[in-house]
Amino acid sequence: MNEIARIFETLDYGPAPEGPEQANAWLDAHDRKFGHFIDGKWTRPGKTFSSDNPATGESLAQISMGSEDDVNAAVKAARAAFKGWSALSGYERGKYLYAIARAIQKHARLFAVLETLDNGKPIRESRDIDIPLVARHFYHHAGWAQHLSREFPDAVPYGVCGQIIPWNFPLLMLAWKIAPALAAGNTVILKPAEFTSLTALLFAEICERVGLPKGVVNIVTGEGGTGQAITAHAGIDKIAFTGSTEVGKAIRAVTAGSGKGLSLELGGKSPYIVFEDADIDSAIEGLIDAIWFNQGQVCCAGSRLLVQESIEARFITKLKKRMASLRVGDPLDKSIDIGAMIAPVQVERIKDLMKRGVAEGADIYEPDGQLPSRGCFLKPALVTNVSPANTLVAEEIFGPVLVAMSFRTPEEAVQLANNTKYGLAATIWSENINLALDIAPQIKAGVVWINGTNNFDAAVGFGGYKESGYGREGGREGMSAYLKPAWEKELKAVPVAKAVEPRAGNPLDTGHLDQTAKMYIGGKQARPDSGYSRAVLDPSGKLIGEVGDGNRKDIRNAVEAARAALGWSTTPAHTRAQILYFLAENLDYRRDEFAARLKLQTGEDGTEEVALSVERLFAFAGWADKYDGAVHNPPLRAVAAAMIEPLGVIGIVAPNARPLLGSIALLAPALAMGNPVVLVPSGTSPLSLTDLYQVIETSDVPNGVINIVTGDSVALAKTLAEHDGVDGLWFVGSADASAMVEKASTSNLKQTWTSRGLEFDLSNRRFEGDYFLAKATQVKNVWIPYGA
Ligand code: NDP
């Protein structure tokens, strides 16, 4: 049989290699040796390391190892450039971003080939997905630059941003970081991953070519140590990181108390749920993209197949057949499905994980066929016969390994899907739109794809829930991650309050019977676990009452009660609004009594504070059904519904001053957005909050939605910060205690807001709006394709 007849017969692909000549010529033109790009100039290469082609093991170039001095120089350049860059009009900055977008399009093929050489991903992906998305990102953000002052009127850029990115989408992650930062008026120092610096260096040349002002973009190459020098640098105002959850946690700990902005885009173990009524062939094609795109080295890879039991056998049989047709090999070949893994160390890591999974009882299927004789290649693998505790189910593998499990009912699917510390993405396949749209809000993940997968667009925010990090990239949410309120810089340090000394004798002469206020947990008054109480003094040191001295156990009970009340998040916004209005009404009814109690505790007339507290409850009752999402129109036949969802359980440690308003100003936005709360009221003047129990009880607040634990604010804040059942924590207190809270929050990466010892005047009406609403919520983007 001649060759043509054979191809007709077998329908085999012939080789279709993309030529590496131009990329090699570019590398040769640089003598295959690169310095850093700092202050618009190239440094002379110093200590270097090799960047290798993972498909061949050959060295592509020598890259400079960024030292502390290099990072210092880059921060200095970025700082110097910030003034001019942020002072440009949005239109001027937009023109630079547009020029970058155009230049990337013009050099798209060179970028794609270089990316594939350096990273090992199939050229089909770098050419058709990575690079077009990079250009799209710069286009999109050119528009944000121009419209910034209209859309974010009270916001200013952070200043100098340190950005650290991984190796799986080298240029795309660069674009996700640099485009919004520059649009907002920040300057940047970006460190690419050690394995993949080349396209970042080519990008630096693009910056030179479009005449970007020097120092606006600085690229410092290097390893983890270079990243550490960036995260610890006192001259950097914001850190944006994409990478492993482990390093993300380390960065959270290092930046605690520094006042740096922080966004983290971390790992995932995303469920891919297939219901029995799904279009099975489409679901299989989607799954191929979900897990074998970029060799599975994708943070949002659909790595956990959850398939309904009734179709499991048929689905797995079809899947295995399809897996056998996947072509693994030379990434530069245009008809290759699976290219090379990033590096030998990653191949070994994955093999070790698979061995552990097998030792724990897993079965592994890999199709027949030979892998290339050299380079970092792995076959696609399907893991079955696993329990949720199996290492391969629980750990992020970051490789071409799919783990399959089955479920019987939609409820079980949701439980399995959420049974992970991660929450980056999820996919749902069903021909029943009612079912799909019922499941999507129940999945704890930042992105949900319905009947599709791995859709990305610059206009649609991307980012995680839980230990997948916080902050979003793309869209409005992504822009706000690079901006901060202009008024923040005017905040002064809170003057140190003089401790009130108890008066000698301390007779309890308030004219009332001796009374120790209890805690309020799960809708009931509860005695403190310790059995101890704390004295409440007036400003002159006279004992005016006692409250329970809360401890870890009380916090645990309160968190348990709050978690049991998570149904509050699905209570209709209209109902939440009514309850907040009712709270306001009942507080107002007793305003004279509360004002008198405030006078007793603070020595000041409490009338205005009560009135403001009522007004604040009204304000957030008004917001409950208005602070909502958006519908995006990405450039494909789909809409993406940006849904605003509550964080979960929020811990609140309120200020000592303004004891009623301080608590209400934080409680009201958290409640309005659907978060049950554990509140630690003013440590010095908690009586207004313990008086509030009756108001709460008469206002139809469901049990467990508001829990109040009195005691030592800092000690209770630490317990809340360390508690994995708390999803967000707001803390008003000293700079040191704020740093402690941020550091202690790393265990489950809860989102924190701390006052850092600064004077946040919560009576200011600027806190009636989206400042705390944004902190009480997270955005989930649900992609819904259409087309008959
Ligand atoms: P890392 O999180 O270690 O690396 C991400 C980036 O951070 C790289 O630029 C890295 O530098 C840098 N870095 C490493 N340590 C520090 C540090 N202490 N402080 C500051 N920066 C640091 O991911 P890896 O590349 O090592 O991959 C390990 C695993 O992480 C993967 O197998 C995968 O499970 C997960 N991962 C998840 C990603 C995601 O998108 N969610 C992306 C990449 C990895 P350098 O590479 O030069 O060491």
> Does residue 12 have a pLDDT over 80?
no
- Separation of CA 726 and ligand 1 centre (Å): 26
Q: What is the pLDDT of residue 5?
A: 87
Mutate to test the pocket of ligand 1, among 174, 247, 376 (most ligand atoms within 8 A of CB): 247
Mean pLDDT, residues 180-193: 98
> Does residue 512 have a pLDDT over 70?
no
- Separation of CA 666 and ligand 1 centre (Å): 36
* Banded pLDDT at 496 (limits 50, 70, 90): confident
- The pocket around ligand 1, CB under 6 angstroms, is made up of 164-168, 191, 193-194, 223-224, 227-228, 231, 242-244, 247, 250-251, 266-267, 299, 396, 398
Question: Can you give the pTM of this predicted structure?
Answer: 0.96
**Bridge partners for 381 per DSSP:** 401
> Does residue 1 have a pLDDT over 90?
no
- Separation of CA 437 and ligand 1 centre (Å): 34
Active site residue 207: no
With b for 16 or more beta-carbon neighbours within 10 A and e for fewer, the 344-369 pattern comes to: eebbeebeebbeebbeeebebbbbee
> Does residue 89 have a pLDDT over 60?
yes
Task: Please say whether the beta carbons of 215 and 81 come within 8 A.
Answer: yes
Strand 516-517 relative to strand 304-308: parallel, antiparallel, unpaired? unpaired
* Banded pLDDT at 9 (limits 50, 70, 90): confident
- HSE at residue 9, side-chain half, CA atoms within 13 A, is 6
Question: What is the rounded distance in angstroms from the CA atom of residue 516 to the CA atom of residue 135?
Answer: 64
Tokens of 687: 């009586």
Q: What is the pLDDT of residue 6?
A: 84
- Residue from 18, 115, 194, 265 carrying the catalytic annotation: 265
Question: Residue 650 contacts by C-beta under 8 Å, 6 or more apart in sequence?
Answer: 670, 675, 676, 677, 678, 726, 727, 728, 729, 730, 776
- Residue from 207, 299, 300, 376 carrying the catalytic annotation: 299
- In one-letter notation, the amino acid at residue 338 is I
Active site residue 265: yes
| Sign of the torsion angle spanned by Cα atoms 612, 618, 621, 627 | negative
Task: Please say whether the beta carbons of 358 and 366 come within 8 A.
Answer: no
> Does residue 3 have a pLDDT over 90?
no
- Separation of CA 121 and ligand 1 centre (Å): 18
What letter does residue 373 receive in the DSSP assignment? S
pLDDT tens, position by position, 532-591: 999 999 999 999 999 999 999 999 999 999 999 999 999 999 999 999 999 999 999 999
* Banded pLDDT at 514 (limits 50, 70, 90): low
* Banded pLDDT at 516 (limits 50, 70, 90): confident
In the chain, pLDDT over 90 holds for what percent of residues? Answer: 95
Question: What is the rounded distance in angstroms from the CA atom of residue 313 to the CA atom of residue 320?
Answer: 11
* Closest of 345, 275, 365, 349 to residue 315, by C-alpha: 275
Question: What is the rounded distance in angstroms from the CA atom of residue 294 to the CA atom of residue 280?
Answer: 23
pLDDT tens, position by position, 373-413: 999 999 999 999 999 999 999 999 999 999 999 999 999 99
> Does residue 435 have a pLDDT over 70?
yes
Which H or E run includes 739? helix 735-744
Q: How far apart are the first and last CA of the chain?
A: 43
Question: Residue 579 contacts by C-beta under 8 Å, 6 or more apart in sequence?
Answer: 671, 699, 700, 701
Question: What is the rounded distance in angstroms from the CA atom of residue 504 to the CA atom of residue 72?
Answer: 57
Mutate to test the pocket of ligand 1, among 36, 190, 195, 244 (most ligand atoms within 8 A of CB): 244
Q: Give Cα separations from 748 to 300, 708, 724 (angstroms).
A: 19, 23, 6
Mutate to test the pocket of ligand 1, among 164, 255, 294, 468 (most ligand atoms within 8 A of CB): 164
Q: Burial, 108: exposed, middle or buried (Cβ in 10 Å; 0-12, 13-18, 19+)?
A: middle
Number of residues written out for the chain: 788
Mean pLDDT, residues 452-476: 96
Tokens of 15: 């080789």
Using CA positions, which residue lies closest to atom 25 of ligand 1?
A: 166
Lowest mean pLDDT, pick from 29-38, 222-231, 510-519: 510-519
Q: What is the pLDDT of residue 4?
A: 83
* Banded pLDDT at 211 (limits 50, 70, 90): very high
In the chain, pLDDT over 70 holds for what percent of residues? Answer: 98
CA 345 to chain centre: 27
Strand 238-242 relative to strand 160-164: parallel, antiparallel, unpaired? parallel
Q: What is the pLDDT of residue 515?
A: 72
Mean pLDDT, residues 490-497: 90
Return the number of other C-beta atoms located less than 10 Å from residue 657's C-beta: 18
Q: What is the pLDDT of residue 164?
A: 98
> Does residue 508 have a pLDDT over 80?
no
Q: What is the pLDDT of residue 744?
A: 97
> Does residue 505 have a pLDDT over 70?
no
- Separation of CA 241 and ligand 1 centre (Å): 9
Q: For the chain, give the mean pLDDT.
A: 96
pLDDT tens, position by position, 660-670: 999 999 999 99
